[in-house]
Amino acid sequence: MIKKFIYLEWKAFTRSASFGANLAMKILIGFLMVYFSLIFIAMGVGAFYVLKKMNLEPLITVNKFLIYYFLSDLVVRLLMQAIPVLNIKPLLVLPFKKPTIVHFSLGKTAISFFNWTHALFFVPFSIVLIIEGYDVVGILFWLIAAFSIVYINNFLNIILNNIDKLFVIFLGIALALGAAQYYKLFDITTFTGPVFQGFYETKGLFLIPILVLIGLYAFTFKYFKNNLFLDAGLSKKEDIATTENLTWLNQFGTLGTFLKNDIKLIKRNKRSKTTIFMSILFLFYGLIFFGNKDQPEIMHIFAGIFVSGGFLFVFGQFVPSWDSSYYQLMMTQNIPYRGYITSKWWLIVIATFISTILASFYLFYGIEIYLTIVAGAIYNIGVNSHLVLLGGAFTKTPIDLSNASGAFGDKKAFNISSMLLTLPKLLLPLLLYWIGLHFGNKTLGLTLVGGAGVLGFVFRNTVFSIIEKRYKIEKYSTISAYKQKN
Amino acid sequence: MIQVNQLSKKYNETTVLNINNLEIPKGQSFGLVGNNGAGKTTFFSLLLDLIQPSTGYITSNNIQVNTNENWKSFTGSFLDESFLIGYLTPEEYFYFIGDLRHQNKADVDALLAQHEEFFNGEILKNKKYLRDLSKGNQKKVGIIATLIGNPEVIILDEPFANLDPTTVSRLKKIIKELAENPNVTVLVSSHDLQHTVEVCDRIVALNKGEVVKDIQTSKETLQELESFFSV
């Protein structure tokens, strides 16, 4: 029985869209996977020695922060880890016993990417600990406990997945705890640190997370088994729809028609809603660079571009794929391409503008830093907005709007032409800024970057004509690419 | 109204459609029948410039569809659910199409009121997004949306599939009314010979991409077609 399931899974895996991509793509994905795996392993190995060098007891220090590690893991899972529900439907009427189906689909989540990546950190770290003379049995118990918690998170995600916006609560808890600790109001780690340390020191304590895990599995199993009906656990959640007319946008004519549609697109689909969340994350990107003496000054402009460009990069990059599911409709309607592109452009411009205003908290670092962000925003509006739209003509990845996962860059969206278009988005402002710094001062650098943006803005009609032409050339291949779902 | 010239479509040397010459005069209601893979949807996709012809071309109202986009302003079409915007409510969808066809809200409302019977109370004001409607109800929305803005050419691919019997007879009534208008050319494809014969003045049967029958509808047409398709 299980053999049949594994056969199906294998077929699903080898025939998935990302796997079926061309050879160059596979190699690229392979490289990226190896690269990130190596980084994780290096972190696992390196953590011990780095902490040691900082005169900290490595295991105690890691244990201290594990609570945050697991909390953020849960947030990421709630946001991105999808539970495999839809694939169950065709199995229901076939001669499989229900418990087998549930065991298998739960078991399948266990080998998910979200679980085994943790091994890349925990296993090398544990090995180093053993090599460095820590108690072998204690470390093994500690490792087992840590993995039990990883899997507890896995099943918590499955149970809690149906509750909307829960990740916000967990994110809130994590941030609140972090802030409380930072301002020395309340330190959660003084309570949780010893518990994690206890998994190593007190033999037998590791049984507790294991028991919790077993209990949770039993609960999840029962929950799923009782809900294995088309009108219960397997039903699609239907939203209560409200008609919004957004009539205030009518004054913008055709542009308003598209803007109305785009606003609804973003508001009503999971995938597009995550882009908003991502854009907010991008706002804080600058914190890494500003006020950090270790980063070269040239990197400031890099941050400047990213802070206001979050929406541009995560949403703009996928124009026109957002409309992929009804692209045929768009192509048969009396739609001027110009109007369509212009409305997307305005959307990006408005979002960049709002981000720039929200980013005013960087004034805390001084007016110069904020001017860097403003220069970046001008460059984003004048140059990058055109580049993402142009890149969109080559990005022919259909987007499944209801699916949230994949927001962190759809694998298939990597293609050579859109990669080439990414370079000027980041390298050109970097170069301009460098020239300014080299031959003058910061002000000259910022003026050059901002000037490029203004120039792009001035010539936007010419640029739009080029983009329009490109979209028309790509029309047929885009339509046929969007037809291939999954 | 529509003129097909030496049209063919090949995928890797397999010819899926090959029509030398076909003329559809203005005001005709034109039925396209054939088995799966006969080339019905391919023909409509070519007519809507969604795919490129391998040879030849189609003109609609003297506009060559694959070089000039002006046909879009007088053509309404519904091929499948990919013509619907899933995250909109039916009302929002109708107004969106209306906006694109330069119809104000009152025009659209008037059209919707006219087809209230066709909707059978399952479409409007139901607090559902299009993606959550049943297949049949989605189809109802798509079909009525093609009528917005009084197009001169209306293209419907398999309009009868997935509809309940009552809706089918109501749809036939709508198509017949459109057919009576001398300015409107209706193109309908279907597997169902009887429905097509009932609503169309002229029936063309396709088989493996070739026109195998081209008949003006008469009393004997249904029988003729049935004997043709029965092996």
DSSP secondary structure of A64-132? HHHHHHHHHHHHHHHHH-----GGGHHHHTSS--HHHHHHHHHHHHHTSHHHHHHHHHHHHHHHHHHHT
Q: Quick one: pLDDT band at residue B111, thresholds 50, 70, 90?
A: very high
What percent of chain A stands above pLDDT 90?
A: 13
- C-beta atoms surrounding A59 within 10 Å: 22
CA–CA separation, B97 and A332 (whole Å): 11
Sequence-ordered alpha helix ranges (H) in A318-441:
327-332, 337-358, 367-379, 385-392, 416-439
The secondary structure of residue A359, as a DSSP letter, is G
**A242 to chain B: closest CA residue:** B127
User: Which residues 151-190 of A are in CB contact (within 8 Å) with B?
Assistant: none
> Inter-chain contact A332–B101, Cβ cutoff 8 Å?
no
Q: How confident is the model at residue A421 (pLDDT cuts 50, 70, 90)?
A: low
Rounded-to-integer distance, Cα A393 and Cα A54, Å: 50
CB-based contact, A265 to chain B, within 8 Å: yes
Amino acid, res. A7: Y
Distance from the B203 Cα atom to the nearest Cα atom in chain A, whole angstroms:
25
By C-alpha distance, the chain A residue nearest B91 is: A243
Q: Is the pLDDT of residue A7 over 80?
A: yes
Where residue B184 falls (left for φ over 0; alpha for ψ -120 to 50; beta otherwise) is: beta
ipTM: 0.86
d(CA A109, CA A285): 32
Contact A335 B100 (CB under 8 A): yes
Rg for chain A, CA atoms, rounded? 25
* Residue B165 one-letter amino acid: P
Residue A450 has pLDDT above 50, yes or no: yes
Which of B51, B73, B84 lies closest to A334 in CB terms?
B73
Across residues A312-331, what is the average pLDDT?
A: 86
Measure the CA–CA gap between A104 and A207, rounded to whole angstroms. Answer: 25
Residue B134 has pLDDT above 70, yes or no: yes
- What is the pLDDT at residue A162? 63
Q: From its phi and psi, is residue A247 left (phi > 0), alpha (psi between -120 and 50) or beta?
A: alpha
Distance between CA atoms of A208 and A227, rounded to whole angstroms? Answer: 28
pLDDT of residue A186: 80
A415 has a pLDDT exceeding 60: no
Contact assignment for B97 to A333 by CB distance below 8 Å: yes
A330 Cα to chain B: minimum distance (Å): 8
Q: Is the dihedral of CA A370, A374, A377, A383 positive or negative?
A: negative
B11 and chain A: CB distance < 8 Å anywhere? Answer: no
What tens digit of pLDDT does each residue of A65-111 get? 888 888 888 888 877 776 665 567 777 788 888 888 888 888 888 87
pLDDT for residue A485 is more than 70: no
Scanning every residue of chain B, which has its alpha carbon at the shortest distance from the alpha carbon of A479? Answer: B50
- Nearest of B4, B130, B142 to residue B65 by alpha carbon: B4
| Over residues A128-138, mean pLDDT | 88
B26 near B187, Cβ under 8 Å?
no
- Is residue B199 within 8 A of residue B188, CB to CB? The reply is yes
Query: What DSSP string describes A217-280?
Result: HHHHHHHHHHT-STTTTTSPPPPPP-----GGGGGGTHHHHHHHHHHHHHHH-HHHHHHHHHHH
**A221/A215 Cα distance (integer angstroms):** 10
Quick one: which of A334, A335, A377 has its CA closest to A354? Answer: A377
Q: What is the largest CA-CA distance in chain A?
A: 76
Residue A30 — very low, low, confident or very high, per pLDDT cuts 50/70/90?
Answer: confident
Q: What pLDDT is attached to residue A20?
A: 52
- In degrees, rounded to 5, the angle at the alpha carbon of residue A262 between the alpha carbons of residues A256 and A264 is 105
Cβ of A476 under 8 Å from any chain B Cβ? Answer: yes
Q: What is the 3-state secondary structure (H, E, C) of A284-323?
A: HHHHHCCCCCCCCCCHHHHHHHHHHHHHHHHCHHHCCHHH
* Site of tokens 């600790």: A181
pLDDT at position A74: 86
Residue type, A122: F
Q: Which two tokens stand for residue A236?
A: 């699609």
Cβ-based contacts of B89 with chain A (< 8 Å): 241-243
pLDDT at A233: 66
Mean pLDDT, all residues of chain A: 81
Using alpha carbons, select from B103, B191, B105, B86 the residue that is nearest to residue B147.
B103
CB atoms A329 and B84 under 8 Å: yes
Residues A319, A322, A327, A331, CA torsion sign: negative
Q: What is the pLDDT of residue B23?
A: 93
- The answer, yes or no, to whether residue A395 has pLDDT greater than 80, is no
Amino acid at B10: K
Which pLDDT value is given to residue A413?
42
Least confident of A44-53, A161-170, B45-54, B202-211: A161-170
Query: What phi and psi, each to the nearest 5 degrees, are found at residue A272?
Result: -75, -30
Return phi, psi of residue A402, to 5°. Answer: -75, -15
At A412 the pLDDT is 41
Q: How far is A93 from chain B (nearest CA, A)?
A: 22
What is the rounded average pLDDT of the residues A269-295?
79
CA distance B143 to B79: 9
| pLDDT on residue B22 | 93
CA angle A139, A144, A149 (to 5 degrees): 125
Contact B208, B38 (CB under 8 A): yes
Q: Give the type of residue at B24.
A: I
**In order of start, what are the domains of chain B with their CATH numbers?**
2-83+151-229 (3.40.50.300)
Taking a C-beta distance cutoff of 8 angstroms, is the pair B90, B130 a contact?
A: yes
Residue A23 has a pLDDT of: 62
- Name which of A341, A368, A334, A324 is nearest A17 in CA terms: A324
pLDDT of residue A420: 64
With contact defined as beta carbons under 8 Å apart, do A386 and A319 qualify? no
CA B124, B126, B129: angle at the middle one, nearest 5? 95
